[in-house]
Amino acid sequence: MSRADRRVAVIIALLVVALAIPYAVHGPKLLPDAWWLLRNRRFDGVLGTPGNRVLIPRPASAVVYVLTFGTIGPHPLALYAVQTALNVAVAVALFVAGRGLVSRGVAAAIAITWILLPNHATLEHWASALNIVVCLLLLLVGVVALERRRDAVAIVCFVASSLSYEASIAAAALAVLAVPWILDGRPRRRTLVAGWAALAAVGVWTLIHTAPGRTSTSKFADFSLLYRIHFGAGITTTTAIGVVLGAVAAVGLAVAVGRLALPGLRASTGLAERLVVAGVAIIAAGALPFVKFPIAVIGVNDRANVVGSIGAAAVWVGLGLLVWSLVSPTASGRASLGTPRWRAMAVALAVTFVALVLPVHVQRDRAYEQAGGDAVRLLRDLTRAFPHPAGAIVVGPEPINHHGVVGLLADLDTGPALQLWRDDHHLRARVAHDVRDFVTAPEPLRFDQVRRVVVGQVATTTTSPSANAG
């Protein structure tokens, strides 16, 4: 890496840290999945932290959880520091991977845009997503290895990435084909065969061993949300702004694809259009493993954007370059990037983009902070209300939702959280799915977490209390 590249890498790392500081100052707390991991650690030992639920389908994740939750224990700030360090590594790896394919400026722009885009908040806030961050890091390291023609290392990284979180399987398969093709003008046949065979084996293993309850109850995920996630409401604070931003992006996407598709315009295309198309392909590859996953515009299910968020960054940078090249062409057809006028335009576009997405980071910080606080408050309330519970507890009337983030959910987290909190593995508790579930629950003990009181006979209702709104 050259001295100039190292300087850019330092700037990228500092930006990740700067965005992480506000949440660290407010104090990260434990959230879903963290509770049962730590419960396993407490009662089954450090090596038992991930449990078979993770060890069998995602063995690399099991290693990650043992080295983080198992070693660190119930210290949310320390876990958050590790997560931030890993995100620094991801951002730098994204720059290095991009540097092998495009110029320093474009690679830096993609990495910085990825950092600023708030469409993957789980990777930054949710400690249980440490395995997902590692998945993305290994994927990018594999891409760098391909660029440096260390194909065996690349395949090992891709397999390890996919066994940490299956989100990278399709993207890794795409990289094995596309990266050598871009660099050499043709695929590397042996690498392609070996890479695809290894990834196919991982895919089969994942399909066979996926635990019940990890997939959506619907037939397929709602992929119509993908556009909003990356180009609309998912990266803005309001739906109205999201609609406007989405419309602008749609025009840009149409222009880029049209210029590549029409023979008469194709000769005048360049990196901008190809970045847009490549970004869309990455988004598609990132979404493919989640065909049965309940993806969401915001909240904890935005972990489905682990790979797609990079594609979105590439699209946004491509659209910016496209506007620049169309508005300011030179005689050679290229944009005159060095003039003061267009430098000012670049600054204006960058400031506008940051002004749109930065408030969302504040919103996401607040949502995770509130959800973590809800969990701690509920555990304290249950300890006060049921010092010696004579049976299972159901909490209602439903999960308290803060922009798609909840503190405790159903029985997977609530029971282990209470067991860990009280140091008693016999305790049983869950949060009701909705009001009807709370009303008809068979558990003998009921607690209203909105009014913070023990309840006896709950009146039947079909309307959720407004206090539950995030």
Any idea where the domains of the chain sit in the sequence? 3-327, 372-468
Residue with tokens 């066979």: 208
CA distance 134 to 423: 31
What's the distance, Cα to Cα, between the start and end of the chain in Å?
Answer: 45
pLDDT tens-digit series, residues 202-261: 999 988 887 554 555 566 788 888 999 999 988 998 888 899 999 999 999 999 999 888
Interatomic CA distance for residues 37 and 79, integer angstroms: 13
Q: What is the pLDDT of residues 176-192, one digit of tens each?
A: 999 999 999 999 999 99
Q: Taking the C-alpha atoms of 178, 180, 184 and 187 in order, what is their torsion angle to the nearest 10 degrees?
A: -80
Give 285-341 pLDDT, tens digit per residue: 999 999 888 888 888 889 999 999 999 999 999 998 888 777 665 534 444 444 566
Q: Say what the pLDDT of residue 331 is.
A: 38
pLDDT tens-digit series, residues 45-59 = 999 999 988 889 999
Amino acid at 271: L
The three-class DSSP label of residue 409 is coil
The pLDDT of residue 115 is above 80 = yes
Q: How far apart are CA 211 and CA 356, in angstroms?
A: 39
Q: Which of 165-174, 285-294, 372-381, 419-428 is the least confident region?
A: 285-294
Q: What is the largest CA-CA distance in the chain?
A: 82
What pLDDT, on the 0 to 100 scale, is given for residue 343?
A: 62
Residues composing the chain = 470
The runs of H, that is alpha helices, within 396-456 are 410-422, 435-440
Q: Is pLDDT of 269 > 50?
A: yes
Per-residue pLDDT reduced to its tens digit, 86-113: 999 999 999 999 999 999 999 999 999 9
- Is residue 94 within 8 Å of residue 111, measured between CB atoms? yes
